[in-house]
Amino acid sequence: MNALAASLRAVGGALAFAAGALAQPPQEPKPPAPKATAAPAAQGQDPKPAGPATPLPPVPPMAVQNPFLPFDRARFEAACRALGATEAQLGRFGAEAADVGLARAADDLMRAVSPALAAACKRRDDGDPEAAVALAQVLADAKEPALRAHARYHLARLFVDGDEPELAIRALNDYFAQDLNVSPLDGEAAFFYAQALADVPMPEHALPRFQAFLQWFPDASERFRAAAQQRLGELQRQQESRLHELADGMQRTTRDLRKQRTGKPVQVDQEGYLEQLNQLIEEFEQRESQSSGAPSGNQPSANPANQSQLPDGESNVGELNKRPTLADRWGDMKDADREKIAAKLQKGLPPQYQKMLEEYYKKLGKAGPRK
Amino acid sequence: MLRFLQERVNKSTKDFDARPEAERAATRPESDALAGKQARVQDLMRRLAAKLGNESAPEGGR
């Protein structure tokens, strides 16, 4: 397993968007800190001894050249022909591309020529827990790089939608290492890579990749570009704030708690938040006392205790798990069906995906079902 | 207030973690509620950060 992890990291290190290059690259982010605590320890304080609550995925450094080539339509169509696409299907692809964009049209064509991919995507759309293993099987069986790219993209999307951004990052690391420039899905893959990084959250890595996405994919769907602009704006506003950094850590802990990860590493992170809050309160109190000595004396208070008495509003909490989640469905499955999926995991999948999916299903098991 | 809320979440996390594994697995709504409490503190922290940011309050960079 160590060798596997090392090879994953090595693959990751060779990437480009993961990998992404900017003509004028933003500041190179620091490598992901091997910790899950929200904020760095204050000066003079020892860091906490415990390891991360949630291990962060490897994120390769930004490169300085755009690794994405213009979409080679002839090559893509040749790949589809090799997979059995008919002229009629290729004709529909051409017509559809003008209507819904190249990425969607290409994915529709790929699903048309690969019933296994279509079936796996349908399982995912239906919220079937077997979707992950079905997509991994398509990936394992695919000889054609374009089909592999689509299978890997959909697997990563499944992880993003399933609140598993760390797994999505790992799948997309492989996409950028092995499947780049064979499908017009590259732009969406780049978008979801940045989104997964923001979801972890790893804002220092997400920010330059949203910038790169916007710079390199000017023709991407407006839906993705608008979302990227919005996330980028949020990240930029949050960049210089210790409070946002603290909130980032709390966001990671929220995800841990939702998956019933309540062990020592999470508790250490939580204690760290209290320390950070204490420090912030002290700092604000000091500022308060300094400003109260001024002759005017009637400036608005910056006391955080007052500031935190904010009107109640919609929090993200209300949106959690309203609909049956994958975890619910997994929990509701019969043991025999779960065992069937477990057996499929052991057959024919690349070792790194076998490990990734074992982790995925283990987390599904921990997260559900709701009683 | 934020500190008080975080203290409560910390205590609830410890209490939850101290339960036997089988019992924890059977109390999904409680872990959802626990995550919800942490999310609430996070949300308040974001609002506070945004409010202070709007007021250009000096903060340490990262």
Q: What pLDDT was estimated at residue A322?
A: 55
List the single residue in B28, B38, B59 with the smallest CB-CB distance to A242: B59
Chain B residues near residue A281 by CB distance under 8 angstroms? 3
Residue A45, pLDDT > 90, answer no
Segment A342-363 mean pLDDT: 84
Cis-peptide into A305, omega within 30 deg: no
DSSP string over A242-280:
HHHHHHHHHHHHHHHHHTT--SHHHHHHHHHHHHHHHHH
Q: What pLDDT was estimated at residue A361?
A: 86
Higher pLDDT, A290 or A188: A188
Q: What pLDDT was estimated at residue A367?
A: 63
User: Tens digits of per-residue pLDDT, A105-144?
Assistant: 999 999 999 999 999 999 999 999 999 999 999 999 999 9
Question: What are phi and psi for residue A148, nearest 5 degrees?
Answer: -60, -40
List the single residue in B1, B34, B41 with the smallest CB-CB distance to A305: B1
Residue A255, pLDDT > 50, answer yes
List the single residue in B9, B25, B29 with the smallest CB-CB distance to A270: B9
List chain B residues with pLDDT less than 70. Answer: 55-62
CA distance A77 to A54: 41
**Does any CB of chain A come closer than 8 Å to the CB of residue B23?**
no
**Does any CB of chain A come closer than 8 Å to the CB of residue B60?**
yes
User: Tens digits of per-residue pLDDT, A56-115?
Assistant: 888 887 666 788 999 999 999 999 999 999 999 999 999 999 999 999 999 999 999 999
CA distance A246 to A250: 6
* Cβ-defined contact of A262 to B29 (cutoff 8 Å): no
Checking ipTM against 0.85, whether it exceeds it is yes
Chain A residues near residue B23 by CB distance under 8 angstroms? none
List the single residue in A238, A255, A371 with the smallest CB-CB distance to B29: A371
Chain A residues near residue B28 by CB distance under 8 angstroms? 260, 367-371
* Cβ-defined contact of B28 to A278 (cutoff 8 Å): no
Determine the residue of chain A that is closest to B23 in CA distance. Answer: A260
Q: What pLDDT was estimated at residue A10?
A: 34
Determine the residue of chain A that is closest to B24 in CA distance. Answer: A260
Query: pTM surpassing 0.80?
Result: no
Higher pLDDT, A43 or B21: B21
Residue A1, pLDDT > 70, answer no
CA distance A14 to A16: 7
